[in-house]
Amino acid sequence: MLNYCARYISVYRHKLAVYLSMSIVSTIIAIIIPIFCGQIIDLMTSNQDVYRFIKMGILVLLLGFLNILIGYWNYRFYIVIQTNTAEDISEDIIHHLHKISLNELQKYDMGYLNESINNDSNSIVIFFLSLIVNALSNGLMLLSSLLILCTISLKVGAVLFLLICLYIIFFLGIRDKLLREAESYKDARSVFFSALLEQFGNIKFIKQQALEDYYKSKLKQEFKIFFEKALSVQQFFYRYSSADDILEIAVNFCIYVLGGISVVKGNMTIGGFTIILNFYKNTALYNFFIISRTYV
């Protein structure tokens, strides 16, 4: 699937290169800002030169504005690449359908086919782009974050690294099940929307043949299947997210307890503790606990 999608995205390789470059720059800024914020807090508590404090604040402000500007253009490039690539894939699939015999096409519901082509084309492109950006940005951010955290507090950094490894193992073990459940839900949704389209497309026929009750019953049956699948998927994802939340709570506990003890003993400054919190909440450390919820 990745090779198939890469063939289409390669048409926009120059825009992709700009998109990935801006993503990396945005990641670097996201790494730098928490460090400066921690230094500002240390300046506040140590009664240092006020002009240095103001300079640091202005620097953080400018970096924040720069990241917003980069984010705007980055998302713009993403939309251009994603929508055009998905359209190219859809066009090729439709062109292929034009070559198929009419008898073969009549075996499929056109509403379901249209929904599937549109959803699948967009899904594989979104997945491909997310995979590349996550591999670059989150990989860079995770390594940098752990290095900085270990520099501030080796104990906190080591515990976070261990918990993240446990989380990755847990996620990899359940990833295939997540993908299967998400895909089955998408298929059930496509079938239901196809049934809705059939109701609208056959209004004249339904009225002429007085089949209102039959089509009403048929729609209810299709909705029942879709609803049961939606409930099943919701239950599965809730069980998964509950385990996900337990790991997140464990990380929060370690940060506050180990970090608080280090601050009390004088082994860590308040600014250093703030850097740890910022890195966890705003960088890849935290993303590891939420990315799977949007992964599929």
Looking at this protein, which amino acid is placed at residue 221?
A: Q
* Average pLDDT score, the chain: 77
pLDDT of residue 229: 77
Helix locations, 134-211, DSSP H: 139-152, 154-201, 203-209
User: What's the CA gap between 93 and 104, in Å, rounded?
Assistant: 15
Q: pLDDT, tens digit, for every residue of 173-187?
A: 777 777 777 777 777
pLDDT band at 72 (very low <50, low <70, confident <90, very high): very high
pLDDT of residue 35: 84
Each as own residue / partner, the long-range contacts of residues 16-20 (CB below 8 Å, 24 or more positions apart, any chain) are: 16/81, 18/77, 19/74, 19/77, 19/78, 19/81, 20/132, 20/133, 20/136
In this predicted structure, the answer to whether residue 294 has a pLDDT above a threshold of 70 is: no
In this predicted structure, the answer to whether residue 206 has a pLDDT above a threshold of 80 is: no
Q: pLDDT, tens digit, for every residue of 33-67?
A: 888 888 888 877 776 667 777 888 889 899 989 99
Domain count, the chain: 1
Q: Which of 12-26, 116-130, 188-202, 212-226 has the highest mean pLDDT?
A: 12-26
Is residue 127 a contact partner of residue 86, using CB atoms and an 8 Å limit? no
**b/e code 23-60 from CB counts within 10 Å (16+ = b):** beebbbebbebbbbbbbbbbbeeeeeeeeeeeebeeeb
Sign of CA dihedral 39, 42, 47, 48: negative
Is residue 129 a contact partner of residue 86, using CB atoms and an 8 Å limit? no
pLDDT band at 293 (very low <50, low <70, confident <90, very high): very low
Token pair of 166 as six digits: 């446990």
Taking alpha carbons only, the member of 203, 196, 4 closest to residue 86 is 4
R_g of the chain, CA atoms, integer Å: 26
Sign of CA dihedral 48, 54, 56, 60: positive
pLDDT band at 68 (very low <50, low <70, confident <90, very high): very high
Is residue 152 a contact partner of residue 261, using CB atoms and an 8 Å limit? no
In this predicted structure, the answer to whether residue 292 has a pLDDT above a threshold of 50 is: no
Token pair of 181 as six digits: 């459940």
Tell me what percent of the residues of the chain surpass a pLDDT of 70: 83
User: What's the CA gap between 162 and 229, in Å, rounded?
Assistant: 36
Each as own residue / partner, the long-range contacts of residues 207-212 (CB below 8 Å, 24 or more positions apart, any chain) are: none
In this predicted structure, the answer to whether residue 69 has a pLDDT above a threshold of 90 is: yes
Q: What is the extent of the structural domain holding 29?
A: 2-295
Q: pLDDT, tens digit, for every residue of 73-89?
A: 999 998 998 888 888 88
Distance of CA 203 to the CA centre of its chain: 40
CATH number for position 20 = 1.20.1560.10
Higher pLDDT, 72 or 291: 72
In this predicted structure, the answer to whether residue 285 has a pLDDT above a threshold of 70 is: no
The lowest-confidence range among 6-15, 127-136, 196-205, 215-224 is 196-205
Q: pLDDT, tens digit, for every residue of 101-139?
A: 666 666 666 666 666 777 777 778 887 888 787 778 777
Angle at 96 between CA 91 and CA 100, to 5 degrees: 145
User: What's the CA gap between 259 and 230, in Å, rounded?
Assistant: 42
Query: Token match 């600014």: residue?
Result: 271
